[in-house]
Amino acid sequence: MRIDCLLHVHSSFSYDSKTDLADIARTARRHGIGCVLMSEHNNRLDSQQVTAFVARCAELSDSSLLIVPGLELAFDANRVHLLAYGIRRFIDSTANSCTIRSLIDEVHEAGGLAVLAHPSHRQAVDRLTDDDLGRLDGIEVWNVKNGNRYVPMAADVLLLNRVRAAGGRSYAFAGLDWHHLNRFARFTLALEVEALTEPAVLDALRHGRFVINGGYVTVKATGEQRAIRVAAYRLVSSTLARTRRIAYRWQSAIERRGLKLPKAVAAVGRRFF
């Protein structure tokens, strides 16, 4: 069976989100989503809070919607973020003894998937060695919050190609990085699974039985090797980034004069960016 799955989702269990997990479940059902993979920030969580979070995921899941718990592990002074999908216990990533390798190993020992989040953001990838990259289950080549909703990040696609060419087992992952309810977009991975269960979902992700469906562009789990498409991704991304900077500059100038953008204009801006 095929299901549409949302990845990289935060609720109020994360320090930087006020979105209730029940609202996430309600929105997912309304849009025909079959599975949501959570990734709560571990920065301000502890074992007791993670236990409560896991229980809440189970409580809100049913035969039509599966909510899979997971963490986003902050490492290296918050420069590197490792998505730990399918994790049901707290993992500390701030101890002096922590390394990316030890965190990846701990995620795997707990039965989860280790995915490098938004590699280009804050040059996170520069903090990892080739050996670290080769141990990952996935690389997030498309992150809506730190990129855009239209195309993947060209640099991250090329990174995935390099890792796979060197024998790494990573697949191309994508995430909405959804923190706020009004920022929802139907940005999914289409998974082929035998059943709507957590083991089946994690197995499909682990073995690349999915495609990224961004609405405008579809990307295979193995990534994108066509140079012309990667060049197009780069052009679109840079154009959108420049447009966003200009829009924010105008917004700041308007607000400095004591004015506010009309709600309708602000809503269009959120939808576009």
252: buried, middle or exposed (CB in 10 Å: 19+, 13-18, 0-12)?
Answer: exposed
Q: What is the pLDDT of residue 240?
A: 87
For residues 131, 136, 141, 144, the Cα torsion angle rounded to the nearest 10 degrees is -130
User: 2-225: which CATH number, 3.20.20.140, 3.40.50.150, 3.40.309.10, 3.40.50.720?
Assistant: 3.20.20.140
Q: Are 223 and 161 in contact (CB under 8 A)?
A: yes
User: Looking at the chain, which residues constitute the CATH 3.20.20.140 domain(s)?
Assistant: 2-225
Largest CA distance in the chain: 58
Q: How many residues does the chain have?
A: 273
Query: In this predicted structure, what is the pLDDT of residue 259?
Result: 67
Residues whose CB falls within 8 Å of the CB of residue 218, separated by 6 or more in sequence, listed in order: 211, 212
pTM confidence score: 0.92
Task: State residue 141's pLDDT score.
Answer: 98
Which residues fall within 8 angstroms of residue 198, CB to CB, at 6 or more apart? 66, 68, 86
Query: Is the CB of residue 172 less than 8 Å from the CB of residue 160?
Result: yes
Q: Are 40 and 76 in contact (CB under 8 A)?
A: no
**Token pair 């995915």 in the structure block, residue:** 115
Could you state, in chain order, the average pLDDT of each consecutive group of 10 residues for the chain (273 residues)? 98 97 98 98 96 98 98 95 97 93 97 97 92 97 94 97 96 97 94 97 98 94 94 93 76 70 60 59
The answer to whether 57 and 68 have CB atoms below 8 angstroms apart is yes
The SS3 assignment for 100 reads helix
